[in-house]
Each structure stands twice: as structure tokens, then as C-alpha cells.
Amino acid sequence: MVLLGSLAGLSAWTAFQAMARRHDRLLAGMGFASLMAMASLAIHASTDFNLQTPATAASLVVLMAMGWVAAYLPSRRRTGNAGESGGFPGRSRPADDC
């Protein structure tokens, strides 16, 4: 139980760092969502034996992993003009035959 608590604390800290340091709004939002979900599970687990259910424990692991992904996933880079290729990388726009 101490190991799970320390991993949850470290994951919460990583999610908080993702919120504070990431410039991409999607990844910062993932960090916020992960932090709030872990907080709600911690509040619920303090009054109920909720983490003894395997599905809830698996959900906690996924939420902790989401914080790590938000912190260390490479950012999307915008290269070139999206209008040149129709918005898809590596694809050219069909020629207009009018």
C-alpha cells in the first residue's frame, strides 16, 4: 500500500509539472484531468474500500499513466502552411481542372 501511495504521489507531482510547464493546451489539460481524477479517487478511497475493486485500481493506474504521458509526450510541431497540403502531411492538393 505504501508503494501505491508513493507512486500516486509521484504521478500527481508529474501531472502538476505537466500542467505548469507544458505550452500545449491539450497536454496541460491532460495533466489537470489526471491530477483531479487522482484527487477524487483519493477522497473516495478515504471513506470506502474502493481500491479493492480491480477495475477501480486499474483505472487509477491508467490515470496515473496519463499524467506521465502529459509530461513527457513530445509536443506537436506545426510545420509549413496547412493550406498548402490540404492539412495532411505528405499529401498534395489535387490539381483544379476547370
What was the pLDDT predicted at 52? 74
> In the chain, how many domains are there?
1
Q: Is residue 95 part of a domain?
A: no
pLDDT tens, 1-29? 688 778 888 998 999 998 888 888 888 89
**What is the Cα–Cα distance from 18 to 92, expressed in whole angstroms?**
35
Picking from 66, 65, 67, 63, the residue whose alpha carbon sits closest to that of residue 55 is: 63
Could you tell me the three cell numbers for 1? 500500500
Phi, psi of 92 (to 5 degrees): -100, 155
User: Is residue 91 included in any domain, yes or no?
Assistant: no
In a domain, 82, yes or no: no
23-41 average pLDDT score:
89
Q: Is 36 helix (H, G, I), strand (E, B) or coil?
A: helix
Position with higher pLDDT, 45 vs 38: 38
Please indicate, yes or no, if residue 11 is contained in any of the structural domains: yes
- Domain limits at 43? 2-74
Q: Is residue 15 part of a domain?
A: yes
Q: What is residue 65's predicted lDDT score, i.e. its pLDDT?
A: 92
What's the rounded Cα separation, in Å, for the pair 91 and 7? Answer: 43
* Whole-number pLDDT of residue 88: 47
